[in-house]
Amino acid sequence: MTKIFITRDIPDAGLKMLKKHKSIKLSIYQKDKKIPRKELLTHVKGVDIILSILTDKIDAQVMDAAGPQLKMIANYAVGFNNIDIEAAKKRGIIVTNAPGPEITESVAEHAVAFIFGLAHRILETDKFNRAGKYTGWGPKLLLGTDVTGKTLGIIGTGNIGNALARRLHDGFDIKILYNDIKRSPNLEKKYGAKFRTKDQLLKESDFVSLHVPLLPGTVHLIGARELKMMKKTAFLINTSRGPVVDEAALTKALTNGEIAGAGLDVYENEPKINKTLLKLQNTILTPHTASATVETRQAMSRTAATNILAFLSNKQIPNKI
C-alpha cells in the first residue's frame, strides 16, 4: 500500500486518477487553509509520497519527519522554490512539478489583463462610477493610454513570456523587447523581438513584464535602481514570484510617480502586502490567482497525479526536477 499525503484539497481530476488504484491510500488535509507547520510534520509521518502545494515549505525537517520510506514529493505548482531540492537528492527523494500549456496560457492572459487594466484605468474608473462621481462625459475625464503600438519588455522568455509576446505582437502590433540568460532566435524570428540588456529594456519599454523563476540571482531583480531607469509613463507587471521585486522600492516609486503603475499577482512577503501599496490607485493587485482558472487547476491536478503514477509504475516521470 502506497501512502500519499496531500497537504491541501486540490481540484479532483488528479484525485480521481489516484483513487482508481486500490494500492494507493490517500489522506488529505481537510481545512481550506495553509497547513500549520506542526500539523504538516505530524501528517507526513510514515507516508511514501507527499503531494505539496507552493505554500508548503518542504525542507529536510519535513523529509526526516516523514521517514526513510519517503520516496517522492509531487509539487502542485510550476515553481519548486518551496522545496529543498538538495536535501531531497541526499535522501534519494524524487521531486516533480506541474507545468503545462494550460498554466502558460492562463498566466499570459492574466498579464495581458494587467496591461490593459492599467493602461485604461479600469479599476479606477469602476470605483469612480460606483462612488457616484460620474456626472457626465468630459474630454479629460480619467484619461488612460493606448496599448497598440507601444513597446513591451519581457524579462524571462520561457513558455509564459513567449505566450505573452505572441498575444500582444500578433493582436496589438506591440514592439517586443526581451532579456534572458540567452538569446531566443525563435522569439526574434516569429515576433521581430529585439534582445536588450536588462538596463536597456527598462529604459525603452512602456510595459515591463516579469517571467523569471525565483533563484538567488533573481531576488530583487527589480529594485530602486531599476525602477529609476523606467519611463515615468511605464507600467511594471509581475506574475512570477514576489521576491523578484523589491516591494518597498516599488511602493516608493509608485508613490513618487517614478513609474505610472504596477500590476502584481505575487508579493515579497506573501500573503502580507505593503499597506501603502494597498492604498495606491495606480495598481492592480490580485491574490496570486494568475493561474486560477478551472481548466488550469484541474490540469495541474492531472499532471501531479500523472507524475505519481509514472513513478509507481517505474515509467519515465514527465516532470522530474
Choosing from 169, 241, 297, 302, which is the catalytic residue? Answer: 241
Query: Residue 220's pLDDT is what?
Result: 98
d(CA 232, CA 86): 42
> Domain check: are 88 and 149 in the same one?
no
Catalytic residue among 91, 120, 220, 288: 288
Q: For residues 14 and 319, what is the distance between their CA atoms, to the nearest angstrom?
A: 15
Are the C-beta atoms of residues 11 and 297 closer than 8 Å to each other? yes
d(C-alpha 80, C-alpha 98), whole Å: 9
User: Within a domain: residue 320?
Assistant: no
Measured CA to CA in angstroms, residue 90 lies from 60, 80, 312 at distances of 10, 17, 20
| 116 and 239 assigned to the same domain | yes
Same domain for 63 and 168?
Answer: no
In a domain, 126, yes or no: yes
Residues pairing with 14 in the sheet: none
Residue 301 sits in the same domain as residue 175? no
Whether residue 175 is found in the same domain as residue 219: yes
**Catalytic: 109?**
no
pTM of the model: 0.90
Helix (H) or strand (E) holding 305: helix 294-312
Tell me whether residue 288 is one of the annotated catalytic residues.
Answer: yes
Tell me: the pLDDT tens digits for 180-205?
A: 999 999 999 999 999 999 999 999 99
Phi-psi region of 223 (alpha: psi -120 to 50; beta: other; left: phi over 0): beta
Active site residue 270: yes
The chain-wide mean pLDDT, for the chain, equals 96
- Per the listing, cell 513567449 goes with 162
Name the domain count of the chain: 2
Contact 178, 195 (CB under 8 A): yes
Which residues, 6 or more positions from 312, have their beta carbon under 8 angstroms from its beta carbon?
2, 21, 23, 24
Q: Which residues of the chain have pLDDT under 50?
A: none
Residues 162 and 247 in one domain: yes
Asked if 227 and 124 sit in the same domain, the reply is yes
How distant is the alpha carbon of residue 6 from its chain centre?
21
Domain that holds residue 256: 102-133+141-285
Domain CATH for 32: 3.40.50.720
What are the residue ranges of helices labelled H in 35-100?
Answer: 37-43, 60-66, 85-90
The pLDDT of residue 98 is: 95
Shared domain for 199 and 56, answered yes or no, is: no
φ and ψ at 263, to 5 degrees? Answer: -115, 115
Clarify whether residues 234 and 189 are in a common domain: yes
Name the residue type at position 180: D
List, as own/partner pairs, every contact residues 36-41 make where C-beta atoms lie below 8 angstroms and the sequence separation is at least 24, other chains included.
Answer: 40/7, 41/65
Per-residue confidence (pLDDT) for residue 79, from 0 to 100: 84
Alpha helices (H) along 71-221? 85-90, 101-119, 122-130, 159-172, 185-191, 198-204
- State whether the Cα torsion 116-119-120-126 is positive or negative: positive
DSSP letter (8 states) at residue 246: -
